[in-house]
Structure 1
Amino acid sequence: MRFSTKAVNFAIAMAVGLGGGSAVAEDWYPYTVDVWPRLEMRTPRTHLAYVPLFKAEKKWDLCATLPHFNGEFWHAIDYGMVDEARRLGVSLRISLAGGYEGLVLQARQMRDCVASGADAVIVAGVSYDQLDDVVKEIVEGGTPVINVANDMLAETLTAKSSVSFGERGWYLAEYLVKKHPEGGEVAMVGWLPEGGMAGWVFTQHFEDEAKHGAVEMVLNEDEDGGDPVEWLLGAAPDIKYIAADPVNAMAATDSLFNAAKETEVMVLSYDLTDQVYEGIRNGTILAAITDSSVIQGRIAIDQAVRILEGKPYKLHVGPVHFIVDRSNISHIDRDAMLAPKGFEPVLNVD
């Protein structure tokens, strides 16, 4: 799969234009997004500078359910939703499903939103395809349902604010392909993804783009459970990069320092966390991909209000992925990507 690099460059330009640091809610927009004509991710996309409503016409009652608050991603989603609800002047109630085993609980939470009089339901599904009947029931009953962050299959969803998360692997590979184009000297990349299906998806996207340049993946084949970076350095002494999920990326910086290789091997992450962000600032991490999680939360709130007020809205929107590195980190809006330092998740906006 090939994507438009023009959109990525535009996204970076827009982010830089917003300025860095702790931007107030009113200046988070315009923000570069992908727009799909349908709910399905594989349909062709276009690009847009997204501008939300200035204020809601009334204090709508929005009700949301998220899987949990574990990890910085969900803190960012929560921050975006909460801050945008405050900016627009609407109320918001958030429930947690207790993790990805909480399918029954999340279905009940969605129905409880409607029973308690919510004007719209926002859901980050704990399942891709097992909440379809609940979504259909609620939408056919007259209450819009907006899908945020975790992609859901349901064809009756009213709108989506989400991205194709696996594409972070593609964009990371593209960054390296630009540095090492086809025909040049091969750059060896130690690939350390997270486990499970998510790691497999990132790997497929990375491989799909890496083949277009002089980039060769080296996989960790150590079966003894030792330090994967140590094994990679032994298996491929000329390795130039370690590319990984945030946890493995941060561990790699320590391993490279201990091996006195921190100036010879550069580390990249296919996701942005606060530690990775600081690593880019201090030079221990070369680059990372962001999917602007905060903006996904903000747009879901704006979509809900637009739908309730009968105003034009985009059916399926998601921020354009882009690279964060030393060339732009001092200029981009951190609060579009991560919750502010010290942020504690919020469940209610009155």
Structure 2
Amino acid sequence: MWKLTLGVAVAAGMATASFVATDVQAQDDGVWWPAKVEIYNPSCTDGDPACWTDPANQNLDVVDYVPLMPDEVDAKHHICVSFPHLVDSYWVGAAYGIIEEGTRLGQKISLIEAGGYDKLEKQLSQVEDCIANGAEILVLSAISAEGNIKQVNELRARGIPIVDLINGINTEVDAKSLESYYSMGRIACKWIADQHPAGSGAVKLAWFPGPPGASWSVAGNQGCHDAVVGSDAEIISTKWAQTSKEAQLSLVENVIQAQTSGDDVDLDYIVGVAPAVEGGMAALRDLGLQDEIKLVSYYYTPGMHQFVGRGSVAMAPTDQMIIQARISIDQAVRILEGKPSATGGRPEFNDTGRMIEHVQPVAAMVTPENHGDFDTSTTLAPKGWSPVFSTD
């Protein structure tokens, strides 16, 4: 049984539509491969942010990622996984991928979450406790691209490998499973820019990239601002905040009020993190502006899936966080057991002889027009699934 899954290959920040097949029956049996991924070469595992925009990484090879089978795993390892929080469905989806892959490969998983992007000290403390309790490797979604550096460097010096998942960190790690949020921000804002080329008539965007200081939101911000250059789309306001719906709604309401004069609102798009889009939807509905201002997310959640399907959201790209999470666990086992890369591409090795690898799933851009063709199994946790914090 085969189903078409919409994919968007990103090259030089440009998105083009393509279709790839996935075996749905195999997925029903717990099999999620092969996943289409792009390989960074050079990898960005050295922590240099400039790697993302290196010309060599603007046309990435797309290959199949085929993970380990359970009978290829030599031992049960203790893998510590640290998330910033689990307050929104994006991270619940990532947690689902972590737990499912850990269970499939027979690994012990300790999943910890700090409670928010303002809880750096708590994340650092939780990680130390997790390692002290016997974890052999850390899969880290860092709260801060800079604030987590000292701990990561110290852990690696103690022989604890680090897999960088989803968020990014500006120091050396052993492997990365994460989408370029520069590309995600660029995809979202270029989708708008392409509809409003130079000379077509000015449109105004309010942009909500996410929490200040987080590597992913900073990268997304740069991608969005770069995407609109040379078009008639103008970013008139950039507002940063935690990714709670309450915080984002407050920002959205403030921007709408600032752009309102009498009965006229001088704003055409609200674009940014999913909670900002959800908050924007409520604000626009209350003001009767839902037909005047379009909403665009730069990542995907169950809410975005529902709202894109209804036509309430014009576009939302997904970085396939469940696949990213699954890959990070496979990478962790490969590193601990000295196994080669899963991509069959150009594996690199660090000075300790460990495999290093940086891959990202091919992003998918979902609109009301192609919503029915989108396979949700890489992006949305099953309905009713609740986070599990450990597997034995």
Counterpart contact for 1:20–1:331, Cα < 8 Å: no
CA drift at 1:152: 1.6
Structure 1 distance, partners of 2:121, 2:23, is 43
CA drift at 1:96: 2.9
* Superimposed CA distance per residue, residues 159-215 of structure 1 (whole angstroms, 9 cap, x where no aligned partner): 1222333442211121123333334x1251331415652677644432211123332
User: Who is 1:317 aligned against?
Assistant: 359
- My pick for the range that moved more, 74-83 or 189-198, is 189-198
Q: CA RMSD in A?
A: 3.5
The reply on whether 1:13 has 2:19 as its aligned counterpart is yes
* Superimposed CA distance per residue, residues 9-33 of structure 1 (whole angstroms, 9 cap, x where no aligned partner): 36x523xx23889943313532233
Counterpart contact for 1:65–1:123, Cα < 8 Å: yes
CA drift at 1:148: 1.6
Counterpart amino acid of 2:111?
A: I
User: Who is 2:178 aligned against?
Assistant: 162
Structure 2 distance, partners of 1:36, 1:275, is 34
Instruction: Choose from 342, 365, 375 the match for 1:333.
Output: 375
Number of aligned residues: 342
CA drift at 1:269: 1.6
CA drift at 1:322: 3.5
CA drift at 1:298: 1.1
Q: 1:6 to 1:216 in 2, by over 3 A?
A: closer
- The 5 Å alignment of 1:1-150 reads 4=11, 8-9=15-16, 13-14=19-20, 17-18=21-22, 23-24=27-28, 25-38=30-43, 39=45, 40-43=48-51, 44=54, 45=57, 46-49=60-63, 50-55=65-70, 56-100=73-117, 102-150=119-167
Counterpart contact for 2:209–2:273, Cα < 8 Å: yes
Q: 1:243 to 1:234 in 2, by over 3 A?
A: farther
- The 5 Å alignment of 1:261-340 reads 261-313=289-341, 314-340=356-382
Q: 1:124 to 1:204 in 2, by over 3 A?
A: closer
User: Who is 1:178 aligned against?
Assistant: 194
* Superimposed CA distance per residue, residues 49-103 of structure 1 (whole angstroms, 9 cap, x where no aligned partner): 3222223233222222223322222212211111111222222112233444554
Structure 1 distance, partners of 2:184, 2:274, is 12
- 5+ residue gaps, structure 2: 1-9, 240-249, 342-355
CA drift at 1:218: 4.0
Structure 2 distance, partners of 1:285, 1:297, is 26
Structure 2 distance, partners of 1:225, 1:33, is 34
CA drift at 1:312: 1.6
CA drift at 1:130: 3.8
Secondary structure of the 1:330 match is helix
Counterpart contact for 1:190–1:219, Cα < 8 Å: yes
Counterpart contact for 2:210–2:273, Cα < 8 Å: no
| TM superposition score normalised by structure 2 | 0.74
More strand by share: 2
Q: 1:196 to 1:145 in 2, by over 3 A?
A: closer
Counterpart contact for 1:218–1:232, Cα < 8 Å: no
The reply on whether 1:206 has 2:224 as its aligned counterpart is yes
- My pick for the range that moved more, 270-279 or 260-269, is 260-269
Structure 1 distance, partners of 2:159, 2:308, is 47
CA drift at 1:348: 0.8
Counterpart contact for 2:74–2:337, Cα < 8 Å: yes
Identity %: 27
Secondary structure of the 1:65 match is strand
The structure whose RCO (Cα within 8 Å, separation 6+) is larger is 1
Secondary structure of the 2:279 match is helix
